[in-house]
Amino acid sequence: MLGTLALAIATVFAIGDIAQYVADDVVRLATIADISRMTGIGAEVFTDGATPTVAMIGTWPFAISFAVIGAVLTLLGRKPRRVGRT
């Protein structure tokens, strides 16, 4: 369930990135820090005094990161396959 939700959120932001590309004719993916500042959720984490790890994570593309997280959660949440006959 969480994996599917993360994939849906990633799709919404990917469509936003595509729309921005069509409008501006410049490829620019929204980063995790950009989305954090825009929504106000966790914005204080990505300030100038952030650790190097947090600063690096803030530069990752949001849509791609959430798609990977969603895919991993979806795969982990699958029911195991039964081998053999029932």
Q: What pLDDT score does 43 carry?
A: 76
Cα(73)–Cα(58) distance, integer angstroms: 21
Q: What pLDDT score does 86 carry?
A: 60
Q: What pLDDT score does 39 carry?
A: 85
Cα(11)–Cα(15) distance, integer angstroms: 6
pLDDT along the chain (86 residues), means of 10: 90 91 87 86 78 86 92 88 72
Q: What pLDDT score does 61 carry?
A: 92
Amino acid at 50: A
Token readout for 28 is: 């620019």
Q: Where are the domains of the chain?
A: 2-76
Question: Could you say which DSSP state residue 44 is in?
Answer: G
Q: What pLDDT score does 24 carry?
A: 86
Q: What pLDDT score does 68 carry?
A: 94
